[in-house]
Amino acid sequence: MANASWSERIRHLLLRMNNFYSPGSCRASCLRFEIDGAQVGWVPPRVAPLLSRYPEVFSPPRGGAVSLCPSLDSYRRRSEAVDAVLQAVRQEDSHTCLRGWRDEKYSVMPKFSDPPLMWMERAATSLFGVTRYGVHINGYTVGDGGEVSMWLARRSPTKQTYPGLLDNVAAGGLAAGVGIKHTAVKECQEEACIPAAIAEKARPVSTISYTYEDEEGVFAETQFAFDLELPVEFRPRVGDGEVQDFYLLPIDKVKELLATDDFKPNSAMVALDFLIRHSVIEPDAEPHYQELVAGLHQTL
C-alpha cells in the first residue's frame, strides 16, 4: 500500500483490526464459549481439541458451544479450575500466546455491565476470545492561538508487544476488580510521570471496540478512551520503562502518522477517534467519514 491514500490506509487498518467479522475468518468455525448459559467468548477451532482433554473443567461441545462444567458454580471455582488448565498447557509450550504470561487477572463476563463470572490470565484470553478491556489516554495541549498538539509515546524496544512503535501518552489493561478512572490515573503516573492532580482531570469520552484474529487466537477488545488536556509547559517523563521517549506533535502530523506502520494499531484507532471528535476529520472533507466512525465501534 505504498502509494495508497491516507483514507485507504486508515480503512485498511480498521478492516485489519476487525477481520473477525470478515468473510473467510474463523468465526464460522468457532465454538461459543459459555458460562452458566451465557456467551462470554469464542473458542477458535484449533483450541477446542485442547479443552476436550480436561472433561472435569470443560463440558463436551454441544450445539456449537463449549461450556464450563456445571459443578464449577462460583467465581472462585471457575477461575481456579481454568487457571490450573492454563498453567498445565503453558508448560507444554504449544501456544505462543502463553509465552507472554503476565500474572494479570482479567474479568470474564458477557457484557462489561454484568457481574464477572470468573477471572482469566491476560495472556490466555485469545484462546477463548473473551473481551479484554483497557484504558487509553489522549494527552494533548492547546496553544494560545487554539492550535492543538498531541503527546505521543514511543514504546520501549524491549516491550513484549509492538516494541518501538508510537503509542498514546499512557495506556494499560483493566485488571479484575480495578476501576477505570483509577487505572487511567495510575497509568498516567507510572508511564508518563503525570502527577495525580493533573491526571485526575482526564475525561472519559468514548470506547473503541474491535475484534481481530491472528495465529494466537481471537482478540475481542474494548478500550475506554480519555482526553487529558495537559498544561502547555508540562512535559511527560519516562516512568516505569515501558516507554523510551515522548514527542509533542502538531495534530496534523499525528493524523499523518496514523496511516503509517510506525503506530501501534489499536492506539492509532484511539487517536483517530480523538481527531474525529475534535473535528480535525470532518464529513465534508473525508468521503469515508461514516466508515471510519463505524470501524471504531464494532461489537460482537
pLDDT in tens, 83-95: 999 999 999 988 9
Q: What fold does the segment set 26-125 form as a domain?
A: Transcription Regulator spoIIAA (3.30.750)
Q: What whole-number percentage of the chain has pLDDT above 90?
A: 94
Q: In what order do the strands lie in the sheet with 31-35?
A: 38-43, 31-35, 65-67
Please tell me the distance from the alpha carbon of residue 58 to that of residue 75, in angstroms, as a whole number. 15
- pTM across the whole model: 0.95
CATH topology of domain 6-21+132-295: Nucleoside Triphosphate Pyrophosphohydrolase (3.90.79)
Asked if 128 contacts 35 with a C-beta cutoff of 8 angstroms, the reply is: no
Q: What is the pLDDT of residue 175?
A: 95
Grid cell, residue 221, equals 477488545
Q: How far apart are CA 212 and CA 14, in angstroms?
A: 10
Q: How is the chain split into domains, by residue range?
A: 6-21+132-295, 26-125
Is residue 134 within 8 Å of 171, Cβ to Cβ? yes
pLDDT tens by residue, 205-250: 999 999 999 999 999 999 999 999 999 999 999 998 889 999 999 9
Which value, to the nearest 10 degrees, does the dihedral of the CA atoms of residues 254, 290, 135, 34 take? -150
